[in-house]
């Protein structure tokens, strides 16, 4: 049995005051929960503040993005190695918002995945199809390409000490999550793709579902064999709602 992981992706939301309030509430509300791994991904600017607020907490820290480069003349960018100075454990790579709005193709995403691993952090590879791709029956093709770009760059054992998040683009922020059965089908496909490279890494790999996860639908999603937790957007900004999602994974 894989240990569940519930992560909050705060996206471009927050202020010093809201970070302090949300993390104080989450610290209090998640006391005593020790069967689920929990992480939050604040905007990069608040990672230092979050590190201090989470100093005595079981809640881990994640980052939403990094650059492919480790250092140099890359104005505005952030390197994976820098995150290691702030107790960051996870880094999201290939979120659909970055793929779509920042033109990150599979190759760039694979390079980011590699950079995260080289820094000794845990990459969370986000994969998922658009509404059109889904209607055209291309879901497996798209996700297969997204996974294989990483395998091509980082090898058979790419997914050792990594996480995959299946986030159908049509489900993100739409209020319409994938059904548990549909999510399970894709998660099973992802695990099979990884198993074809390495059975051991496939067996250990946490595959999270993301896209309109709420307290009300979390338990049904988590009851599926290959759904090992969630990557939560909007609902992770509300301490009660996020805590109830975490509790659904206990
Ligand atoms: P929502 O939970 O707001 O749909 O966002 C999901 C997501 O994109 C998490 O990375």
Pocket test for ligand 1, best of 215, 233, 241, 244 (most atoms within 8 A of CB): 233
Q: What pLDDT does 208 receive?
A: 98
The per-residue pLDDT for 202 is 98
User: So what's the pLDDT on residue 1?
Assistant: 58
Say what the pLDDT of residue 127 is: 98
167 is catalytic: yes
- Measured by CA distance, the residue closest to atom 7 of ligand 1 is 233
pLDDT of residue 66: 98
Exposure string for 57-90, b = 16+ CB within 10 A, e = fewer? bebbbbbbbbbbeeeeeeeeebbbebbeeeebbb
Q: Which of 114, 129, 167, 241 is catalytic?
A: 167
Pick the residue whose CA is nearest to atom 9 on ligand 1.
233
- pLDDT tens for the chain, residues 1 to 250: 599 999 999 999 999 999 999 999 999 999 999 999 999 999 999 999 999 999 999 999 999 999 999 999 999 999 999 999 999 999 999 999 999 999 999 999 999 999 999 999 999 999 999 999 999 999 999 999 999 999 999 999 999 999 999 999 999 999 999 999 999 999 999 999 999 999 999 999 999 999 999 999 999 999 999 999 999 999 999 999 999 999 999 9
Ligand 1 probe mutation, 91, 99, 210, 230, most atoms within 8 A of CB: 210
Residue 99 to residue 107: CA distance in whole angstroms: 11
pTM for the whole thing?
0.98
In the reported structure, the alpha carbon of residue 138 is separated from the centroid of ligand 1 by a whole-number distance in angstroms of 22
Domain 5-248: give its CATH superfamily: Aldolase class I (3.20.20.70)
Of 71, 119, 75, the residue nearest 93 (C-alpha):
119
Q: What are the residue ranges spanned by the domains of the chain?
A: 5-248
Give distance in angstroms: CA of 73 to centre of ligand 1: 32
Q: Cβ distance 53 to 14 under 8 Å? A: no
**From the CA of 76, how far away is ligand 1's center (Å)?**
24
187 is catalytic: no
> Tokens at residue 89, please?
């454990």
């Amino acid at each position: 049995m894989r240990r569940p992981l519930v992560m909050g992706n705060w996206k471009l939301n927050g202020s010093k005051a809201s970070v302090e309030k949300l993390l104080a509430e989450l610290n209090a509300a998640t006391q005593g929960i020790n069967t689920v791994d929990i992480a939050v991904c604040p905007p990069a600017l608040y990672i230092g503040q979050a590190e201090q607020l989470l100093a005595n907490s079981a809640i881990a820290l994640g980052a939403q993005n990094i650059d492919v480069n480790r250092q140099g003349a890359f104005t505005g960018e952030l390197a994976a190695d820098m995150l290691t100075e702030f107790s960051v454990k996870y880094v999201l790579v290939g979120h659909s918002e970055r793929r779509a709005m920042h033109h990150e193709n599979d190759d760039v995403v694979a390079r980011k995945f590699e950079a995260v691993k080289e820094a000794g952090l845990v990459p969370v590879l986000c994969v998922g199809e658009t509404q059109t791709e889904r209607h055209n029956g291309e879901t497996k093709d798209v996700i297969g390409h997204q996974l294989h770009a990483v395998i091509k760059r980082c090898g058979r054992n790419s997914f050792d000490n990594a996480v995959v998040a299946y986030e159908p683009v049509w489900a993100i922020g739409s209020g319409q999550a994938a059904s548990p059965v549909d999510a399970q089908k894709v998660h099973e496909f992802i695990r099979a793709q990884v198993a074809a490279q390495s059975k051991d890494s496939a067996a250990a790999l946490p595959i999270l579902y993301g896209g309109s996860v709420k307290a009300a639908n979390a338990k049904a999603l988590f009851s599926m064999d290959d759904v090992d937790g969630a990557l939560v957007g909007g609902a992770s900004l509300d301490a009660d709602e996020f805590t109830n999602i975490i509790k659904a994974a206990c």
